Structure 1
Amino acid sequence: MAEPVGRELVPAEFSAADLAPHPDDFGDALRSRLAAIDSASDSHAEDLRPHNTARGYASDWRTWQQFTAHAGIPVTAAGRGTLRGFVTWLWEEQRLAYATVDRKLSGVVVTLRREHQVPVTPEDTKAARRTLRDLQRRAAERGEVPRGRGKAPAMRIDALRAIVAACPDTLAGLRDRTTVLLGFAIAGRRHEVAALLVRDLVLEEGRGLVVDVRVSKTHPRVVAVPYGERKETCPVRTWLAWKDAAGLHDPGSPALRRMHRLGGVTRAGLSPQSVGTVITTAGQRAGVPIRFTGHSVRSGMLTEGRRAGKDRRALQAISGHADGSKVLDGYLQIADRWNDQDNGLAGIGL
């Protein structure tokens, strides 16, 4: 027989305190067991973390260790002053680019919180970022050349057509053409394109491909890729041609493959780095005077989509950007800056 205790029903022989003791009242055996669960959970979460992310955090932590050794402070001494000192050291002594300093700051803060249980406050992190912005502003006032490579150049439609036309009429050329067009169609990052499996691309007759972008550092998504207006730049027809020519029958195998030196298809899929190399090489082969990178197909699709008047939400559905994404805003501004409606100088009678 049960009787009410507060909002719960508990057996009459137990009290609510017996069923829900305060953590301060846990016994040593229970504390030990919970600690083991926490440790196992941390290990599992680490295993699930993308390899590139884990590798980046490890590199950021080594940089922090160098700074703390240079400053003569413990690695766990993370406060407003030390974080400001860190970004200043990276900017002035190591001469790193703004984006690199910002990323390393993020990596160090994450590692301090997760691995060392150091309670770095958001206010302290914001203070360090304000210092970094001030350092960048002062460098610009002194006339310093901007650091870093900047944003990846967008692969516009005219360049895409030239690249596709320049791919040789070979199996390797068909693979390259497929890589570029699929990457463009799904606004894919290098690792997203490299991770595609044969089963992730499903043909809907008369409509196009449904592409399941399962592996993403932000938002996995499903992208509907319609048949293209031009046969030569149609991602759907190109994929079907590559799939047939390469004999991709195993649904669990990589969609994009490495090639033998003699021109045959291997079982191994392209790595993210290889996807970037294919895109860069394809642009160079076409004689395009811009050095495209793996990210160029992503920025190119978003830029061209906006230029064609596509709605922001339609673009987000393809790229996986979150609502209000400042990164997406940057892509859209590239397309909007010459638009009559968005350019304040256009059509005013100059």
Structure 2
Amino acid sequence: MSAAELGVIVVTYNSGREVLDCLESLLSASRAVGVPLRIVVVDNASSDETVTGIFDWAQGQSDYLPPDSLPFSITAVPKPLSVIEAMPDVAQSREGHVHLVKSTTNIGFAGGVNLGLKYLAGFSDIRHFWVLNPDSVVPPASLQALHDELGDNPSYGLMGGRVCYMDTPDRIQIDGGTVNFHTGVTGNLNLGRAASETPVPDAAELDFIMGASMVASRDFYERVGPMCEDYFLYYEEVDWAMRRGDLPLRYCDGLVVYHHAGSSIGSPGWGRSASPFSLYFKHRGRIRFLRRFRPASLVIGFAYSLAYAARLFLRDRSLSEAWAVLAGSFGLRPPRQIRDRLTWPVWKRRDQAGRRDTSGSQGE
């Protein structure tokens, strides 16, 4: 793989400190192993200090100190760094350490990724697009492994590696995703296993690559198009993988990313239950996925929702969580605590558009 063939997309929303650790790890790894990266941060209208924090960090207004909790050491890159503000449809000719694209509203994970894809695709030398969560960090060895894998010029659609929990770095969060096509429930391959004792999976075992660390080939992007934005959160990467045709999924041995796991949206983590916000969009996405790709399984999918909500209520007395599951599954108005976190008019239009699309089309 030659210089500048790898572009990185980091979508932020109220990511504050986490995105700085992510950027430092990427730039530090790039310097350590000599692999150039073109990094674009897409901010989904954060209401916190995410954007101003990136500029302050880049100018070196305060010394960067890696958190003690990181599972590897980071050598802070010299400051100042250049941050180029960009538009998604105009590839900037100027080189910068970080390119920043700002959305005026929160358009969800897929919407943010699509802005980054559109921007990076404007650079003809970018052949691979690496989607990375802002609450993830990358050690140099992982970037080297990915560089070596891509240097073999593999034919692939989507590629992933190992994602481990940040706070328990030897515990696997996911080695790739699986789907139960009756219920639509997704699974994390090797979830909770010790990374030091668990062999890497055969790529043939995978149904999708987790969006926290997912590499797409330009061939895939040009054939399949952008991610479907109907989901807002969850299942976008599952949908994308289902549309890959004959382009295979690949697993990169040695590509390990450490992930905080749902730090901004309350996704379930090891020993932590999901928030109502996470549950609503998880089950909303699951039903949309079935409607699009397995409509004959919708009855089973709805039955699963009812059983899951009943278990939450009867076992945990979690009325808000149970209602979030039902509202998401049956297309009901989300609870206020969820609506208050959204750019509601924009999200509502997306939701209505998604409900109209029940024909099993690809959505893009």
- TM-score using structure 2 length: 0.21
- TM-score using structure 1 length: 0.22
Greater relative contact order, per chain length (Cα 8 Å cut-off, separation 6+)? 2
More helix by share: 1
More strand by share: 2
Of structures 1 and 2, the larger Rg is shown by: 1
